[in-house]
């Protein structure tokens, strides 16, 4: 790994998809840990809800702490989606509860980190 800025020991990239309601608390929790967060707006494919995709550079020793911070600041919720009733001649949708939220996290090893 090439690191041109030794004060930034970034050898892991965490990508976290966070629900819109949790974006502020998640970025605040990560910033309190001294992590720099890049935030991109995104939309979930299943429900079409707004999310944020967070790119977080860190050292391998910070991964577990960052995961705990996200787990604490991103909560799951029950929402209802309208689904058609099977066998019904009328198109009356039935509210179906689904669990949404939390965070989806991917962590990758960083081969090279350059800042300019």
Give the CATH number of the domain where residue 67 resides. Answer: 3.30.70.120
Answer yes or no: are the C-beta atoms of 17 and 42 closer than 8 Å. yes
The closest of 2, 17, 12 to 57, measured between CA atoms, is 12
116, part of any domain: no
Give the dihedral sign, CA 50/41/28/75.
Answer: positive
Q: Which residues pair with 98 in a beta bridge?
A: 79
Count of domains in the chain? Answer: 1
The tens place of each residue's pLDDT in the chain, 116 residues long, gives 444 444 568 999 999 999 888 999 999 999 999 998 999 998 876 666 788 999 999 999 999 999 999 999 998 877 777 777 676 666 677 777 777 778 999 999 999 988 88
Whole-number pLDDT of residue 3: 41
Q: Which domain holds residue 48?
A: 2-111
């Amino acid at each position: 790994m090439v690191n041109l800025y030794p004060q930034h020991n970034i050898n892991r990239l965490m990508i976290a998809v966070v629900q819109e309601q949790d974006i502020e608390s998640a970025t605040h929790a990560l910033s309190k840990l001294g992590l720099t967060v890049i935030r991109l707006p995104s939309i979930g494919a299943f429900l079409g809800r707004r999310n944020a995709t967070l790119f977080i550079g860190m050292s391998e020793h910070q991964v577990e702490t960052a995961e705990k911070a996200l787990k604490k600041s991103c909560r799951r919720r029950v929402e209802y989606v309208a689904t058609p009733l099977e066998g019904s001649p009328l198109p009356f949708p039935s509210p179906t509860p689904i669990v949404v939220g939390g965070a989806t996290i991917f962590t990758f090893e960083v081969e090279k980190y350059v800042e300019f």
